[in-house]
Structure 1
């Protein structure tokens, strides 16, 4: 909890988030095309690559990567780099996905609604439930204002 309230750990965490978001500016466009940030643990920076050949090539760029990252952070925070194949992992510099949009389904009023009112024993739970079901489609709601008019089955099929 102290990380969120302030201190050196909080400033370092915020700086790391900024680094992950500006990854291309931190290490350069050429390297950013091959290496994506996956996170960190202690003094180890975890980076993702697309394939094993790129992983082998990036081993030769470790000193340069560490210089650029630590230079951007203004402190020697990382001393090692671990490369992983990205696969299905999402890198930390990826754009955030938009939230899905859910549509409220149209209320469809059954064509023969209310035909069974009065045919059940009025004290039975089934009769009370059916009467409430009929009221749902015919009258305004008791709470939250009016209810929009429901379409019948045949009207819903036309639209």
Structure 2
């Protein structure tokens, strides 16, 4: 258990308080940019937004503008029509007007709040088996034709191995 020591100014008498009771109030005073409120929002996002939660996720904020992100441009367009409803839902969650505008952006590889970055395993590139008759068509195909150039490019795949 953590404790915080209080001093009063006159006699500087010590008084201990549990850190768990004092810390939330101290953090609220220090949080001038509403970052703690945003943390509460993304933790409750799935329950708050229901079916729409996976379409647009909180990405951050700029001042009083809530930034939501989606993976698809069509979803961004459609979700922008729901911005007033989203704004009302979010501000009702806080019980006060924290945000006055909702902006939508594409994810473009960024990770929305509350989601872990997926570590994608890269699979080794496929190994192609070299055809036994590779190069047999070199004399019959025109080297300047599109098919002839493609065939020579195909041969280079196996020459580099």
Distance in 2 (alpha carbons) for counterparts of 1:5 and 1:77: 17
Aligned match for 1:71, one of 92, 103, 108: 92
2:35 maps to 1:9: no
1:1-39 per-position Cα deviation (integer Å, ceiling 9, x unaligned): xx96542736943232111122111222x1102001100
Distance in 1 (alpha carbons) for counterparts of 2:83 and 2:33: 25
1:24-73 per-position Cα deviation (integer Å, ceiling 9, x unaligned): 11222x11020011000111000001111101101110011001111111
SS in 1 for 2:31: helix
- Deviation >4 Å, runs of 4+: 3-6
Distance 1:96 1:42, change over 3 A: same
2:71 maps to 1:50: yes
SS in 2 for 1:22: helix
Shift of 1:95: 3.5
Give the structure 2 partner of residue 62 of structure 1: 83
Higher relative contact order (CA 8 A, sep 6+): 1
Distance in 1 (alpha carbons) for counterparts of 2:78 and 2:118: 31
Give the structure 1 partner of residue 41 of structure 2: 19
Number of equivalenced pairs = 95
2:94 maps to 1:39: no
Q: What RMSD in Å do the two structures reach over aligned CA positions? A: 2.6
Gaps of 5+ in 2: 1-24, 120-161
Q: Provide the TM-score with structure 1 as the length reference.
A: 0.53
